[in-house]
Structure 1
Amino acid sequence: MKSNLKNFEASPQLYARIAGILYLVIIVMGFFAETFVRNKLFVPGDATATAYNITHSQFLWKIGITADLIMQICDLPVMIILYYLLKPVNRKLALLNLSFNLIQTAVLVANKLNLLAALFFLSGADYLKSFSPDQLHTLSYLSIKLHDYGFGIGLIFFGFVCLLEGYLIFKSGYLPKVIGVLMSLAGICYLTNSFFLILIPKLSSIVLLMPCLIAELSLSLWLVFKGVKLPVWKEIVWS
Protein backbone atom coordinates (compact mmCIF):
# COMPACT_ATOMS: atom_id res chain seq x y z
CA MET A 1 0.00 0.00 0.00
CA LYS A 2 2.76 2.42 0.97
CA SER A 3 4.68 1.44 -2.15
CA ASN A 4 1.67 2.21 -4.35
CA LEU A 5 1.21 5.55 -2.61
CA LYS A 6 4.86 6.43 -3.18
CA ASN A 7 4.50 5.54 -6.86
CA PHE A 8 1.49 7.85 -7.08
CA GLU A 9 3.30 10.67 -5.33
CA ALA A 10 6.41 10.24 -7.47
CA SER A 11 4.55 10.31 -10.77
CA PRO A 12 0.93 11.50 -10.52
CA GLN A 13 0.60 12.38 -14.21
CA LEU A 14 -0.50 8.92 -15.34
CA TYR A 15 -3.19 8.80 -12.67
CA ALA A 16 -4.30 12.33 -13.48
CA ARG A 17 -4.71 11.39 -17.13
CA ILE A 18 -6.63 8.24 -16.23
CA ALA A 19 -8.96 10.34 -14.08
CA GLY A 20 -9.37 12.86 -16.89
CA ILE A 21 -10.21 10.20 -19.47
CA LEU A 22 -12.71 8.53 -17.16
CA TYR A 23 -14.21 11.91 -16.33
CA LEU A 24 -14.75 12.50 -20.05
CA VAL A 25 -16.47 9.11 -20.26
CA ILE A 26 -18.72 10.18 -17.38
CA ILE A 27 -19.65 13.40 -19.18
CA VAL A 28 -20.34 11.63 -22.48
CA MET A 29 -22.40 8.84 -20.88
CA GLY A 30 -24.43 11.27 -18.79
CA PHE A 31 -25.05 13.58 -21.75
CA PHE A 32 -26.11 10.67 -23.95
CA ALA A 33 -28.50 9.16 -21.40
CA GLU A 34 -30.14 12.48 -20.61
CA THR A 35 -30.24 14.05 -24.08
CA PHE A 36 -30.63 11.16 -26.50
CA VAL A 37 -32.69 8.80 -24.35
CA ARG A 38 -34.77 10.39 -21.61
CA ASN A 39 -35.35 13.76 -23.28
CA LYS A 40 -36.25 11.93 -26.49
CA LEU A 41 -38.72 9.48 -24.95
CA PHE A 42 -40.15 11.40 -22.00
CA VAL A 43 -43.04 13.74 -22.84
CA PRO A 44 -43.62 16.22 -19.99
CA GLY A 45 -47.21 16.17 -18.78
CA ASP A 46 -48.27 13.28 -21.03
CA ALA A 47 -48.07 9.86 -19.39
CA THR A 48 -49.68 8.07 -22.35
CA ALA A 49 -47.28 9.49 -24.94
CA THR A 50 -44.33 8.74 -22.68
CA ALA A 51 -45.52 5.17 -22.19
CA TYR A 52 -45.93 4.76 -25.96
CA ASN A 53 -42.40 6.02 -26.60
CA ILE A 54 -40.81 3.78 -23.99
CA THR A 55 -42.81 0.73 -25.06
CA HIS A 56 -41.65 1.14 -28.64
CA SER A 57 -38.06 1.96 -27.69
CA GLN A 58 -37.41 -0.38 -24.79
CA PHE A 59 -33.89 -1.25 -25.86
CA LEU A 60 -32.96 2.43 -26.14
CA TRP A 61 -34.36 2.98 -22.64
CA LYS A 62 -32.20 0.13 -21.35
CA ILE A 63 -29.15 1.55 -23.13
CA GLY A 64 -29.78 4.83 -21.32
CA ILE A 65 -29.84 3.06 -17.97
CA THR A 66 -26.66 1.19 -18.89
CA ALA A 67 -24.94 4.45 -19.85
CA ASP A 68 -25.88 5.88 -16.45
CA LEU A 69 -24.42 2.86 -14.68
CA ILE A 70 -21.20 3.08 -16.70
CA MET A 71 -21.02 6.70 -15.60
CA GLN A 72 -21.28 5.70 -11.94
CA ILE A 73 -18.75 2.89 -12.32
CA CYS A 74 -16.24 5.33 -13.81
CA ASP A 75 -16.95 7.75 -11.00
CA LEU A 76 -15.37 5.43 -8.41
CA PRO A 77 -11.78 5.45 -9.73
CA VAL A 78 -12.08 9.15 -10.54
CA MET A 79 -13.04 10.09 -7.00
CA ILE A 80 -10.23 7.96 -5.54
CA ILE A 81 -7.61 9.48 -7.84
CA LEU A 82 -8.88 12.99 -7.08
CA TYR A 83 -8.64 12.19 -3.38
CA TYR A 84 -4.95 11.35 -3.74
CA LEU A 85 -4.37 14.34 -6.02
CA LEU A 86 -5.96 16.77 -3.57
CA LYS A 87 -4.90 15.16 -0.30
CA PRO A 88 -1.58 17.10 -0.14
CA VAL A 89 -3.58 20.35 0.05
CA ASN A 90 -5.77 19.31 2.97
CA ARG A 91 -6.23 15.65 3.85
CA LYS A 92 -9.36 16.16 5.96
CA LEU A 93 -11.16 18.18 3.30
CA ALA A 94 -10.10 15.70 0.61
CA LEU A 95 -11.55 12.89 2.72
CA LEU A 96 -14.77 14.85 3.28
CA ASN A 97 -14.94 15.42 -0.47
CA LEU A 98 -14.53 11.69 -1.09
CA SER A 99 -17.31 10.95 1.41
CA PHE A 100 -19.75 13.32 -0.29
CA ASN A 101 -18.85 11.76 -3.62
CA LEU A 102 -19.48 8.22 -2.38
CA ILE A 103 -22.90 9.23 -1.06
CA GLN A 104 -23.74 10.93 -4.34
CA THR A 105 -22.80 7.84 -6.31
CA ALA A 106 -24.76 5.51 -4.03
CA VAL A 107 -27.87 7.69 -4.34
CA LEU A 108 -27.62 7.89 -8.13
CA VAL A 109 -27.06 4.15 -8.55
CA ALA A 110 -30.05 3.29 -6.35
CA ASN A 111 -32.08 5.87 -8.25
CA LYS A 112 -31.74 3.84 -11.46
CA LEU A 113 -34.32 1.45 -9.99
CA ASN A 114 -36.92 4.11 -10.75
CA LEU A 115 -36.03 3.94 -14.45
CA LEU A 116 -36.29 0.16 -14.38
CA ALA A 117 -39.65 0.44 -12.61
CA ALA A 118 -40.89 2.72 -15.39
CA LEU A 119 -40.09 -0.07 -17.83
CA PHE A 120 -41.56 -2.84 -15.66
CA PHE A 121 -44.93 -1.07 -15.45
CA LEU A 122 -45.12 -1.19 -19.25
CA SER A 123 -43.96 -4.77 -19.66
CA GLY A 124 -47.44 -6.28 -20.04
CA ALA A 125 -46.69 -8.96 -17.44
CA ASP A 126 -49.59 -11.01 -16.06
CA TYR A 127 -49.16 -9.63 -12.54
CA LEU A 128 -50.01 -6.16 -13.87
CA LYS A 129 -53.44 -7.10 -15.24
CA SER A 130 -55.18 -5.77 -12.14
CA PHE A 131 -54.18 -2.27 -13.31
CA SER A 132 -55.79 -0.45 -16.21
CA PRO A 133 -53.55 0.80 -19.05
CA ASP A 134 -54.00 4.39 -17.88
CA GLN A 135 -52.96 3.46 -14.36
CA LEU A 136 -49.85 1.69 -15.64
CA HIS A 137 -48.95 4.68 -17.79
CA THR A 138 -49.32 6.94 -14.78
CA LEU A 139 -47.21 4.67 -12.57
CA SER A 140 -44.50 4.55 -15.22
CA TYR A 141 -44.59 8.32 -15.58
CA LEU A 142 -44.45 8.72 -11.80
CA SER A 143 -41.37 6.48 -11.65
CA ILE A 144 -39.57 8.75 -14.10
CA LYS A 145 -40.55 11.81 -12.09
CA LEU A 146 -39.21 10.12 -8.96
CA HIS A 147 -35.97 9.51 -10.83
CA ASP A 148 -35.74 13.21 -11.65
CA TYR A 149 -36.06 14.11 -7.99
CA GLY A 150 -33.70 11.33 -6.92
CA PHE A 151 -31.17 12.68 -9.40
CA GLY A 152 -31.61 16.14 -7.94
CA ILE A 153 -31.05 14.83 -4.42
CA GLY A 154 -27.88 13.05 -5.51
CA LEU A 155 -26.61 16.27 -7.07
CA ILE A 156 -26.96 18.05 -3.73
CA PHE A 157 -24.12 15.90 -2.45
CA PHE A 158 -22.22 16.41 -5.70
CA GLY A 159 -22.67 20.15 -5.30
CA PHE A 160 -20.66 19.94 -2.09
CA VAL A 161 -18.12 17.79 -3.92
CA CYS A 162 -17.63 20.54 -6.49
CA LEU A 163 -17.35 23.21 -3.81
CA LEU A 164 -14.69 21.27 -1.94
CA GLU A 165 -12.81 20.29 -5.08
CA GLY A 166 -12.93 23.87 -6.26
CA TYR A 167 -11.41 25.11 -3.02
CA LEU A 168 -8.73 22.41 -2.94
CA ILE A 169 -7.82 22.97 -6.60
CA PHE A 170 -7.63 26.73 -6.04
CA LYS A 171 -5.32 26.27 -3.05
CA SER A 172 -3.20 23.52 -4.58
CA GLY A 173 -0.80 25.53 -6.71
CA TYR A 174 -0.33 22.56 -9.03
CA LEU A 175 -3.73 22.85 -10.71
CA PRO A 176 -5.12 26.06 -12.29
CA LYS A 177 -6.90 28.43 -9.94
CA VAL A 178 -9.42 29.26 -12.66
CA ILE A 179 -10.58 25.63 -12.71
CA GLY A 180 -10.96 25.82 -8.94
CA VAL A 181 -13.20 28.86 -9.36
CA LEU A 182 -15.21 27.14 -12.10
CA MET A 183 -15.70 24.02 -9.98
CA SER A 184 -16.86 26.10 -7.02
CA LEU A 185 -19.31 27.90 -9.29
CA ALA A 186 -20.51 24.51 -10.53
CA GLY A 187 -21.11 23.45 -6.94
CA ILE A 188 -23.24 26.53 -6.32
CA CYS A 189 -25.21 25.85 -9.50
CA TYR A 190 -25.82 22.20 -8.60
CA LEU A 191 -27.00 23.12 -5.11
CA THR A 192 -29.18 25.97 -6.33
CA ASN A 193 -30.87 23.90 -9.03
CA SER A 194 -31.46 20.90 -6.76
CA PHE A 195 -32.95 22.94 -3.95
CA PHE A 196 -35.09 24.80 -6.48
CA LEU A 197 -36.31 21.41 -7.73
CA ILE A 198 -37.41 20.48 -4.21
CA LEU A 199 -38.66 23.86 -2.98
CA ILE A 200 -39.70 25.81 -6.09
CA PRO A 201 -39.75 23.37 -9.05
CA LYS A 202 -40.65 26.04 -11.60
CA LEU A 203 -37.29 27.74 -11.00
CA SER A 204 -35.31 24.57 -11.66
CA SER A 205 -33.76 24.69 -15.11
CA ILE A 206 -31.11 22.97 -17.20
CA VAL A 207 -29.74 26.45 -17.88
CA LEU A 208 -28.53 26.61 -14.28
CA LEU A 209 -26.38 23.54 -14.93
CA MET A 210 -24.54 24.89 -17.98
CA PRO A 211 -21.66 26.29 -15.88
CA CYS A 212 -21.30 22.80 -14.40
CA LEU A 213 -20.65 21.30 -17.83
CA ILE A 214 -18.04 23.96 -18.59
CA ALA A 215 -16.30 23.44 -15.24
CA GLU A 216 -16.22 19.64 -15.34
CA LEU A 217 -15.19 19.55 -18.98
CA SER A 218 -12.38 22.01 -18.23
CA LEU A 219 -11.14 19.90 -15.33
CA SER A 220 -11.26 16.64 -17.26
CA LEU A 221 -9.47 18.08 -20.30
CA TRP A 222 -6.81 19.68 -18.12
CA LEU A 223 -6.15 16.40 -16.35
CA VAL A 224 -5.85 14.59 -19.69
CA PHE A 225 -3.57 17.04 -21.48
CA LYS A 226 -1.73 18.82 -18.67
CA GLY A 227 -2.04 16.92 -15.42
CA VAL A 228 -0.40 18.58 -12.44
CA LYS A 229 2.53 20.99 -12.30
CA LEU A 230 5.18 18.52 -11.21
CA PRO A 231 7.65 20.97 -9.62
CA VAL A 232 4.95 22.39 -7.35
CA TRP A 233 3.51 18.93 -6.67
CA LYS A 234 6.88 17.51 -5.65
CA GLU A 235 7.66 20.53 -3.50
CA ILE A 236 4.41 20.09 -1.56
CA VAL A 237 4.42 16.29 -1.36
CA TRP A 238 8.06 15.80 -0.50
CA SER A 239 8.45 18.79 1.79
Structure 2
Amino acid sequence: MNGNRFLKSLFGNNFQNQSSYPEENTNMKLTLKNFEQSPQLYARIAGMLYLLIIIAGVFGQLLVRNKLLVYGDVAATAGNIMNSEFLWRVGISADLIMHICDLPVMIILYYLLRPVNKKLALLNLSFNLIQTAVLVINKLNLLAALFFLKDTEYLKSFSPDQLNSLSYLSTKLHDFGFGIGLIFFGFVCLIEGYLFFKSRYFPKTIGVLMSIAGLCYLTNSFVLILVPQFADITLLMPCFIAELSLSLWLIFKGVNLSIWKNSASKNI
Protein backbone atom coordinates (compact mmCIF):
# COMPACT_ATOMS: atom_id res chain seq x y z
CA MET A 1 0.00 0.00 0.00
CA ASN A 2 1.23 3.49 -0.82
CA GLY A 3 2.62 5.15 2.33
CA ASN A 4 0.59 8.33 1.90
CA ARG A 5 -2.61 6.38 1.31
CA PHE A 6 -1.99 4.35 4.47
CA LEU A 7 -1.43 7.45 6.58
CA LYS A 8 -4.50 9.11 5.09
CA SER A 9 -6.58 6.05 5.96
CA LEU A 10 -5.29 6.20 9.53
CA PHE A 11 -5.32 9.94 10.14
CA GLY A 12 -8.01 11.09 7.75
CA ASN A 13 -7.97 13.91 5.27
CA ASN A 14 -5.90 16.11 7.56
CA PHE A 15 -2.75 14.24 6.56
CA GLN A 16 -0.74 15.86 3.80
CA ASN A 17 2.76 15.41 2.48
CA GLN A 18 5.25 17.35 4.55
CA SER A 19 6.31 19.20 1.43
CA SER A 20 2.87 20.79 1.23
CA TYR A 21 3.42 22.39 4.63
CA PRO A 22 6.79 24.14 4.40
CA GLU A 23 5.94 26.41 7.31
CA GLU A 24 5.25 23.44 9.61
CA ASN A 25 8.49 21.78 8.56
CA THR A 26 10.51 24.74 9.76
CA ASN A 27 8.59 25.08 13.01
CA MET A 28 7.78 21.85 14.80
CA LYS A 29 6.54 23.52 17.95
CA LEU A 30 3.08 22.46 19.05
CA THR A 31 1.37 25.85 18.93
CA LEU A 32 -2.33 26.55 18.68
CA LYS A 33 -1.87 27.66 15.06
CA ASN A 34 -0.13 24.42 14.09
CA PHE A 35 -2.58 22.38 16.12
CA GLU A 36 -5.57 23.89 14.33
CA GLN A 37 -4.23 22.63 11.01
CA SER A 38 -4.38 18.98 12.07
CA PRO A 39 -6.19 18.39 15.39
CA GLN A 40 -7.34 14.99 14.16
CA LEU A 41 -3.75 13.89 13.67
CA TYR A 42 -2.79 14.97 17.17
CA ALA A 43 -5.90 13.32 18.61
CA ARG A 44 -4.92 10.01 17.05
CA ILE A 45 -1.34 10.35 18.28
CA ALA A 46 -2.68 10.98 21.79
CA GLY A 47 -4.95 7.95 21.49
CA MET A 48 -2.11 5.64 20.45
CA LEU A 49 0.15 6.94 23.22
CA TYR A 50 -2.70 6.58 25.73
CA LEU A 51 -3.15 2.97 24.65
CA LEU A 52 0.57 2.41 25.16
CA ILE A 53 0.24 3.94 28.64
CA ILE A 54 -2.54 1.49 29.49
CA ILE A 55 -0.56 -1.50 28.19
CA ALA A 56 2.60 -0.46 30.06
CA GLY A 57 0.64 0.19 33.25
CA VAL A 58 -1.15 -3.16 33.13
CA PHE A 59 2.14 -4.93 32.45
CA GLY A 60 4.00 -3.27 35.32
CA GLN A 61 1.25 -3.73 37.89
CA LEU A 62 -0.49 -6.97 36.99
CA LEU A 63 2.21 -8.98 35.22
CA VAL A 64 5.19 -7.92 37.31
CA ARG A 65 4.37 -6.62 40.79
CA ASN A 66 1.22 -8.66 41.36
CA LYS A 67 3.17 -11.72 40.23
CA LEU A 68 6.26 -11.18 42.39
CA LEU A 69 4.91 -9.52 45.53
CA VAL A 70 3.52 -11.87 48.16
CA TYR A 71 1.61 -9.57 50.47
CA GLY A 72 2.34 -10.33 54.10
CA ASP A 73 5.27 -12.64 53.32
CA VAL A 74 8.55 -10.72 53.50
CA ALA A 75 10.86 -13.64 52.72
CA ALA A 76 8.83 -14.92 49.76
CA THR A 77 8.65 -11.43 48.26
CA ALA A 78 12.41 -10.95 48.61
CA GLY A 79 13.06 -14.33 47.01
CA ASN A 80 10.76 -13.57 44.08
CA ILE A 81 12.38 -10.20 43.41
CA MET A 82 15.89 -11.65 43.48
CA ASN A 83 14.96 -14.65 41.34
CA SER A 84 13.26 -12.38 38.79
CA GLU A 85 15.48 -9.32 39.01
CA PHE A 86 15.39 -8.61 35.28
CA LEU A 87 11.58 -8.84 35.20
CA TRP A 88 11.45 -6.44 38.16
CA ARG A 89 13.66 -3.98 36.26
CA VAL A 90 11.55 -4.38 33.10
CA GLY A 91 8.46 -3.54 35.15
CA ILE A 92 10.10 -0.34 36.40
CA SER A 93 11.13 0.53 32.84
CA ALA A 94 7.57 -0.04 31.60
CA ASP A 95 6.31 2.37 34.25
CA LEU A 96 8.83 5.00 33.17
CA ILE A 97 7.81 4.59 29.52
CA MET A 98 4.23 5.09 30.66
CA HIS A 99 5.13 8.38 32.35
CA ILE A 100 7.17 9.57 29.38
CA CYS A 101 4.11 9.02 27.19
CA ASP A 102 2.03 10.94 29.73
CA LEU A 103 3.68 14.22 28.75
CA PRO A 104 2.68 14.47 25.07
CA VAL A 105 -0.77 13.08 25.87
CA MET A 106 -1.51 15.70 28.50
CA ILE A 107 -0.29 18.52 26.22
CA ILE A 108 -2.42 17.31 23.31
CA LEU A 109 -5.46 16.95 25.55
CA TYR A 110 -4.85 20.47 26.80
CA TYR A 111 -5.07 21.80 23.24
CA LEU A 112 -8.06 19.61 22.41
CA LEU A 113 -10.01 20.73 25.49
CA ARG A 114 -8.81 24.33 25.59
CA PRO A 115 -11.72 25.61 23.47
CA VAL A 116 -14.21 24.39 26.10
CA ASN A 117 -12.67 26.22 29.04
CA LYS A 118 -9.12 27.52 28.89
CA LYS A 119 -8.69 27.87 32.66
CA LEU A 120 -10.01 24.41 33.46
CA ALA A 121 -7.86 22.90 30.71
CA LEU A 122 -4.81 24.57 32.26
CA LEU A 123 -5.80 23.39 35.75
CA ASN A 124 -6.19 19.89 34.34
CA LEU A 125 -2.71 20.08 32.82
CA SER A 126 -1.29 21.21 36.17
CA PHE A 127 -2.85 18.31 38.07
CA ASN A 128 -1.55 15.96 35.39
CA LEU A 129 2.00 17.26 35.69
CA ILE A 130 1.91 16.87 39.48
CA GLN A 131 0.64 13.28 39.35
CA THR A 132 3.29 12.34 36.79
CA ALA A 133 6.06 13.90 38.89
CA VAL A 134 4.86 12.09 42.02
CA LEU A 135 4.64 8.73 40.25
CA VAL A 136 8.05 9.08 38.61
CA ILE A 137 9.74 9.88 41.93
CA ASN A 138 7.83 6.99 43.48
CA LYS A 139 9.72 4.56 41.20
CA LEU A 140 12.73 5.06 43.48
CA ASN A 141 10.91 2.89 46.02
CA LEU A 142 10.86 0.02 43.54
CA LEU A 143 14.57 0.43 42.89
CA ALA A 144 15.21 0.57 46.63
CA ALA A 145 13.33 -2.71 47.07
CA LEU A 146 15.88 -4.28 44.74
CA PHE A 147 18.95 -2.50 46.14
CA PHE A 148 18.26 -3.71 49.68
CA LEU A 149 18.51 -7.29 48.45
CA LYS A 150 21.86 -6.91 46.70
CA ASP A 151 24.98 -8.42 48.23
CA THR A 152 26.93 -5.18 48.62
CA GLU A 153 29.49 -4.13 51.19
CA TYR A 154 27.58 -1.15 52.57
CA LEU A 155 24.68 -3.42 53.55
CA LYS A 156 26.77 -5.91 55.54
CA SER A 157 25.79 -4.28 58.83
CA PHE A 158 22.19 -5.43 58.29
CA SER A 159 21.00 -8.98 58.77
CA PRO A 160 19.29 -10.77 55.85
CA ASP A 161 15.95 -10.57 57.65
CA GLN A 162 16.35 -6.83 58.16
CA LEU A 163 17.19 -6.31 54.50
CA ASN A 164 14.21 -8.38 53.42
CA SER A 165 12.01 -6.24 55.66
CA LEU A 166 13.45 -3.01 54.26
CA SER A 167 12.85 -4.27 50.74
CA TYR A 168 9.27 -5.16 51.57
CA LEU A 169 8.79 -1.77 53.24
CA SER A 170 9.93 -0.11 50.01
CA THR A 171 7.22 -1.93 48.06
CA LYS A 172 4.63 -0.78 50.60
CA LEU A 173 5.85 2.80 50.30
CA HIS A 174 5.46 2.47 46.53
CA ASP A 175 1.85 1.36 46.97
CA PHE A 176 1.06 4.42 49.05
CA GLY A 177 3.05 6.73 46.79
CA PHE A 178 1.07 5.36 43.86
CA GLY A 179 -2.15 6.07 45.72
CA ILE A 180 -1.08 9.64 46.46
CA GLY A 181 -0.23 10.25 42.81
CA LEU A 182 -3.62 8.93 41.76
CA ILE A 183 -5.35 11.52 43.94
CA PHE A 184 -4.12 14.16 41.52
CA PHE A 185 -5.04 11.97 38.57
CA GLY A 186 -8.51 11.56 40.03
CA PHE A 187 -8.97 15.31 39.71
CA VAL A 188 -7.57 15.10 36.18
CA CYS A 189 -10.26 12.60 35.24
CA LEU A 190 -13.00 14.67 36.87
CA ILE A 191 -11.98 17.83 35.03
CA GLU A 192 -11.50 16.01 31.75
CA GLY A 193 -14.85 14.32 32.20
CA TYR A 194 -16.54 17.70 32.57
CA LEU A 195 -14.69 19.16 29.59
CA PHE A 196 -15.43 16.15 27.38
CA PHE A 197 -19.09 16.31 28.39
CA LYS A 198 -19.36 20.03 27.59
CA SER A 199 -17.24 19.95 24.44
CA ARG A 200 -19.87 18.82 21.88
CA TYR A 201 -17.00 17.47 19.74
CA PHE A 202 -16.57 14.42 21.98
CA PRO A 203 -19.41 12.07 22.96
CA LYS A 204 -20.95 12.83 26.34
CA THR A 205 -20.51 9.17 27.25
CA ILE A 206 -16.74 9.64 27.34
CA GLY A 207 -17.23 12.54 29.73
CA VAL A 208 -19.44 10.48 32.03
CA LEU A 209 -17.02 7.54 32.02
CA MET A 210 -14.03 9.75 32.80
CA SER A 211 -15.91 11.44 35.64
CA ILE A 212 -16.75 8.04 37.13
CA ALA A 213 -13.09 7.08 36.75
CA GLY A 214 -12.06 10.20 38.65
CA LEU A 215 -14.39 9.36 41.53
CA CYS A 216 -13.05 5.80 41.62
CA TYR A 217 -9.43 6.98 41.69
CA LEU A 218 -10.15 9.42 44.51
CA THR A 219 -12.16 6.88 46.50
CA ASN A 220 -9.52 4.17 46.11
CA SER A 221 -6.67 6.47 47.14
CA PHE A 222 -8.36 7.91 50.20
CA VAL A 223 -9.51 4.45 51.29
CA LEU A 224 -5.89 3.30 50.97
CA ILE A 225 -4.71 6.17 53.15
CA LEU A 226 -7.53 6.25 55.71
CA VAL A 227 -8.61 2.60 56.02
CA PRO A 228 -6.04 0.56 54.06
CA GLN A 229 -7.54 -2.75 55.13
CA PHE A 230 -10.52 -1.99 52.87
CA ALA A 231 -8.49 -0.97 49.81
CA ASP A 232 -9.39 -3.07 46.77
CA ILE A 233 -7.89 -2.72 43.30
CA THR A 234 -11.17 -3.89 41.74
CA LEU A 235 -12.47 -0.41 42.52
CA LEU A 236 -10.29 0.79 39.65
CA MET A 237 -11.98 -1.37 37.00
CA PRO A 238 -14.26 1.51 35.87
CA CYS A 239 -11.07 3.56 35.38
CA PHE A 240 -9.68 0.94 33.01
CA ILE A 241 -12.92 0.90 31.01
CA ALA A 242 -13.07 4.71 30.83
CA GLU A 243 -9.46 5.25 29.80
CA LEU A 244 -9.49 2.42 27.28
CA SER A 245 -12.68 3.86 25.77
CA LEU A 246 -11.07 7.29 25.53
CA SER A 247 -7.90 5.98 23.90
CA LEU A 248 -9.82 3.94 21.32
CA TRP A 249 -12.14 6.85 20.55
CA LEU A 250 -9.17 9.15 19.98
CA ILE A 251 -7.54 6.59 17.68
CA PHE A 252 -10.54 5.65 15.55
CA LYS A 253 -12.81 8.69 15.79
CA GLY A 254 -10.82 11.64 17.05
CA VAL A 255 -12.76 14.88 17.31
CA ASN A 256 -15.69 16.33 15.40
CA LEU A 257 -13.57 18.69 13.33
CA SER A 258 -16.20 21.21 12.35
CA ILE A 259 -17.39 21.70 15.93
CA TRP A 260 -13.84 21.75 17.32
CA LYS A 261 -12.66 24.36 14.82
CA ASN A 262 -15.73 26.48 15.44
CA SER A 263 -15.13 26.32 19.21
CA ALA A 264 -11.42 27.00 18.80
CA SER A 265 -12.04 30.06 16.64
CA LYS A 266 -14.22 31.55 19.36
CA ASN A 267 -11.71 30.93 22.15
CA ILE A 268 -8.38 32.00 20.68
Aligned 1:1-239 pairs, distance under 5 A: 4-239=31-266
CA shift, 1:216, in A, is 0.2
Identity of aligned residues (%): 75
Return the TM-score normalized by structure 2: 0.88
Larger Rg: 2
Partners in 2 of 1:4 and 1:184 — Cα distance? Answer: 28
CA shift, 1:63, in A, is 0.2
Q: Is the 8 A contact 1:10 1:234 kept in 2?
A: no
Partner deviation per Cα, 1:61-109 (whole Å, 9 max, x = no partner): 0000000000000000000000000000000000000000000000000
2:117 is aligned with what amino acid?
N
Partners in 2 of 1:88 and 1:226 — Cα distance? Answer: 19
Partners in 1 of 2:152 and 2:178 — Cα distance? Answer: 28
Return the TM-score normalized by structure 1: 0.98
Q: Is the 8 A contact 1:54 1:61 kept in 2?
A: yes
The unaligned stretches of length 5 or more in structure 1 are none
Partners in 1 of 2:102 and 2:252 — Cα distance? Answer: 19
Partners in 2 of 1:216 and 1:128 — Cα distance? Answer: 42
Q: How many residues end up aligned between the 2 structures?
A: 239
CA shift, 1:237, in A, is 1.4
2:265 is aligned with what amino acid?
W
Q: Is the 8 A contact 1:158 1:187 kept in 2?
A: yes
Partner deviation per Cα, 1:109-138 (whole Å, 9 max, x = no partner): 000000000000001111111000000000
Q: Is the 8 A contact 1:108 1:151 kept in 2?
A: yes
Q: Is the 8 A contact 1:23 1:220 kept in 2?
A: yes
CA shift, 1:204, in A, is 1.2
Partners in 2 of 1:124 and 1:42 — Cα distance? Answer: 20
Partners in 2 of 1:64 and 1:23 — Cα distance? Answer: 18
Partners in 2 of 1:140 and 1:36 — Cα distance? Answer: 19
CA shift, 1:3, in A, is 8.5
Q: Is the 8 A contact 1:100 1:157 kept in 2?
A: yes
Q: Tell me whether 158-167 or 7-16 shows the greater mean CA deviation.
A: 7-16
C-alpha distance 106-3 of structure 1, shift in aligned 2 (>3 A)? closer
CA shift, 1:44, in A, is 0.4
Partners in 2 of 1:117 and 1:43 — Cα distance? Answer: 17
The unaligned stretches of length 5 or more in structure 2 are 1-26
Partners in 2 of 1:78 and 1:200 — Cα distance? Answer: 33
Partners in 2 of 1:66 and 1:195 — Cα distance? Answer: 27
1:161 is aligned with what amino acid?
V
2:134 is aligned with what amino acid?
V
2:229 is aligned with what amino acid?
K
CA shift, 1:190, in A, is 0.1
1:27 is aligned with what amino acid?
I
